[in-house]
């Protein structure tokens, strides 16, 4: 989606005037498998009572249940913004967000009163949704939309499975905050310390302004001493030291560089590296020679594979988990240059930077170009490779690719190629169902899988049901909501609401 659509939420000024509300999509690239959030307008003044426009804000069309829909125990994510125009001496826009939840039969199960949300794993591995109100209250919901707990919080973040760290403002202060760990799903206080998650049962804890540091084993509630020469873990280093659940874990040494800690809190070897990253599938990327060389090591800290001038980890930023998730690696040739090569998690070289180049777009969709000019689509982390027709060089989705100008689209699922109507160009794809296009002057349209123009103007995020069925947040004229791959509306509502005194 164009940056012109996205906005930053702010709090509207209080006024006794009427408010005209225009709802706009906010794009969120995260793939979350469990909640649909419904955002509606909220009045800026405490005394204002909303009055619905002639078209109801509830479903414009009956909410049919798709034959491929999941059971009623699943919920999906959705977030869009409310853009309020305050009518006073001057016209100003104040974007706001209000979030509620829909179930898989497209019925509202939680009223839209929240400003942010975050899914976190519960104690049994099932997802619990945390939703935060602007007044500093956080609520937890299960997969049916039933509230399971409530607590004071301005911010929430996932911790170990079954726990969440909540942060709230200290009463009577402007900039003082306090954090604590609470249990899921009831959000009851917990004695679990706050720390960096190293695996599903281990935390790195730093207390008393860094004077007290230890590993905390959740399964035994024991503290594990750390080496006295462990360096200070600042936020940047903490991200790199934070493991993917595998051991050993990289950590800074007070002497120099990074070394590896084992589960007993001891240095695994005396060898230090300029930089070291978490282990993924038994391998860790390291940098040496004053950051001029890079390679991989195994869990015995033995070098494996070729050398590169640098290695860039391709993180899955969509995951809310506190454990890092690496999709693969961008690598630069040992002779230097750009990160044109790609290495899989098992260190299989998918694109050799010495002879090939790879261009990666959103969600790490990459197209590799060989020395002979042939191209292929790479999908990470599985490493699947699909040859592309001649002249197709950009990935729109895992099924849709386009030429450099965006004037032709090829659908890998059907094998069909079609032209994009001038003066539009393809800018993004949505599974194998839709292609979003934009003209030089900013006009937008959506094509279906065959290249036919639809009545949709915008396609936002894609959500996936438990059975794999995708649904798409869409805008068409004066309504928006969810459509299936055939463009049938599963849930829709008006985009406009008038709020009066």
Q: What is the pLDDT of residue 209?
A: 82
The pLDDT confidence band at residue 403, using thresholds 50, 70 and 90, is very high
The pLDDT confidence band at residue 321, using thresholds 50, 70 and 90, is confident
Residues contacting residue 300 through CB under 8 Å, at least 6 positions apart: none
Q: Roughly how many angstroms between the first and final C-alpha of the chain, as a whole number?
A: 34
Tell me the CATH number for domain 201-352.
Answer: 2.40.128
Q: What is the pLDDT of residue 154?
A: 93
Residues of the chain with CATH 2.40.128: 201-352
Q: Which of the two residues, 105 and 85, has the higher pLDDT score?
A: 105
Mean pLDDT of 245-271: 90
State the DSSP string of 456-473.
Answer: -SEEEEEEE-TTS-EEEE
pLDDT for residue 404 is more than 90 = yes
Q: What is the pLDDT of residue 361?
A: 81
497, 420, 483: which is closest to 455 by C-alpha? 483
How many Å apart are CA 263 and CA 261, to the nearest integer?
A: 7
* Residue tagged 């006295």 (tokens): 228
Q: What is the pLDDT of residue 433?
A: 96
Cα dihedral 221, 227, 229, 232, rounded to 10, equals -20
pLDDT for residue 272 is more than 50 = yes
Render pLDDT for 409-446 as a digit per residue (tens, 0 to 9). 999 999 999 999 999 999 999 999 999 999 999 999 99
Q: What is the pLDDT of residue 454?
A: 97
Q: What is the pLDDT of residue 1?
A: 33
pLDDT for residue 379 is more than 60 = yes
How many Å apart are CA 292 and CA 278, to the nearest integer?
A: 20
Mean pLDDT of 10-27: 29
Q: Which of the two residues, 66 and 495, has the higher pLDDT score?
A: 495
pLDDT for residue 141 is more than 80 = yes
Do residues 242 and 197 lie in contact, with contact meaning Cβ atoms separated by under 8 Å?
yes
pLDDT for residue 300 is more than 60 = yes
* Residue tagged 């039969």 (tokens): 105
The pLDDT confidence band at residue 179, using thresholds 50, 70 and 90, is very high
Q: What is the pLDDT of residue 264?
A: 95
Q: What is the pLDDT of residue 465?
A: 85
Mean pLDDT of 68-87: 48
List the beta strands (DSSP E) in 160-274.
163-169, 177-183, 196-199, 202-207, 212-217, 222-225, 249-252, 258-261
CA 372 vs CA 327, 333, 369, 375: distances in Å: 27, 19, 8, 9
pLDDT for residue 37 is more than 80 = no
Do residues 366 and 33 lie in contact, with contact meaning Cβ atoms separated by under 8 Å?
no
pLDDT for residue 214 is more than 80 = yes
pLDDT for residue 356 is more than 60 = yes
pLDDT for residue 350 is more than 70 = yes
How many Å apart are CA 278 and CA 198, to the nearest integer?
A: 10
Q: What is the pLDDT of residue 449?
A: 94
Mean pLDDT of 115-139: 91
Mean pLDDT of 10-26: 29
What SS3 state is found at 486?
coil
pLDDT for residue 41 is more than 70 = no
Q: What is the pLDDT of residue 3?
A: 28
Q: What is the pLDDT of residue 335?
A: 82
Render pLDDT for 186-205 as a digit per residue (tens, 0 to 9). 999 999 999 888 998 999 99
Q: What is the pLDDT of residue 411?
A: 96
Render pLDDT for 44-67 as a digit per residue (tens, 0 to 9). 222 232 222 222 222 223 233 333
Render pLDDT for 217-228 as a digit per residue (tens, 0 to 9). 999 999 999 999
The pLDDT confidence band at residue 95, using thresholds 50, 70 and 90, is low
The pLDDT confidence band at residue 78, using thresholds 50, 70 and 90, is low
Residues contacting residue 224 through CB under 8 Å, at least 6 positions apart: 214, 215, 216, 217, 263, 264, 265
The least confident of 98-112, 116-130, 220-234 is: 98-112
Average pLDDT for the chain? 79
């Amino acid at each position: 989606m164009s940056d012109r659509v996205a906005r930053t939420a702010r709090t509207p000024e209080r006024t006794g005037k009427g408010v005209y509300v225009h709802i706009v999509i906010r794009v969120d690239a995260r793939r979350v498998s469990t909640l649909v959030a419904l955002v509606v307008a909220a009045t800026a003044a405490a005394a204002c009572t909303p009055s619905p426009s002639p078209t109801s804000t509830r479903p414009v069309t009956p909410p049919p249940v798709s034959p491929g829909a999941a059971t009623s125990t699943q919920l999906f994510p959705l977030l869009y913004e409310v853009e309020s125009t305050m009518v006073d001496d001057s016209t100003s826009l104040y974007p706001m967000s209000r979030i509620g939840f829909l179930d898989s039969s497209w019925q509202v199960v939680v009223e839209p009163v929240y400003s942010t949300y975050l899914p976190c794993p519960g104690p049994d591995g099932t997802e619990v949704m945390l939703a935060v109100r602007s007044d500093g209250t956080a609520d937890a919901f299960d997969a049916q939309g039933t509230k399971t707990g409530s607590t004071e919080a301005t911010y929430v973040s996932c911790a170990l499975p079954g726990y969440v760290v909540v942060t709230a403002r200290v009463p009577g202060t402007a900039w003082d905050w306090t954090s604590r760990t609470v249990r899921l799903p009831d959000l009851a206080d917990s004695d679990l310390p706050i720390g960096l998650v190293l695996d599903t049962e281990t935390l790195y804890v730093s207390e008393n302004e860094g004077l007290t540091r230890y590993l905390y084993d959740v399964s035994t509630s024991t503290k594990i001493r750390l080496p006295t020469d462990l360096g200070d873990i600042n936020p940047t280093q903490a991200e790199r030291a934070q493991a993917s659940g595998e051991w050993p874990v990289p950590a800074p040494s007070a002497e120099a560089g990074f070394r590896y800690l084992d589960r007993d809190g001891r240095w695994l070897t005396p060898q230090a590296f300029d930089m070291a990253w978490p282990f993924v599938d038994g391998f860790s990327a390291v940098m040496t020679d004053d950051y001029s060389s890079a390679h991989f090591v195994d869990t015995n800290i033995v070098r494996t594979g070729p050398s590169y001038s640098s290695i860039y980890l391709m993180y899955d930023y969509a995951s809310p988990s506190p454990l890092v998730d690496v999709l693969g690696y961008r690598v630069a040739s040992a002779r230097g240059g750009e990160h044109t090569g790609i290495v899989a998690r098992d260190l299989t070289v998918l694109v050799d930077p010495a002879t090939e180049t790879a261009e990666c777009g959103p969600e790490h969709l990459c197209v590799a170009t060989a020395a002979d000019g042939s191209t292929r689509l790479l999908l990470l982390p599985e490493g699947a490779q699909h040859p592309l027709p001649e002249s197709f060089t950009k990935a729109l989705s895992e099924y849709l690719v386009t030429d450099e100008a965006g004037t032709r689209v090829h659908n890998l699922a059907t094998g069909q190629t079609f032209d994009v109507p001038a003066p539009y160009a393809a800018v993004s794809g949505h599974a194998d169902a839709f292609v979003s296009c934009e003209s030089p002057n900013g006009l937008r349209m959506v094509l279906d899988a065959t290249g036919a123009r639809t009545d949709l103007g915008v396609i936002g995020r894609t959500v996936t049901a438990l059975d794999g069925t995708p649904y798409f947040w869409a805008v068409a004229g004066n309504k928006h909501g969810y459509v299936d791959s055939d463009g049938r509306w599963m849930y829709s509502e008006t985009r406009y609401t008038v709020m009066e005194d």
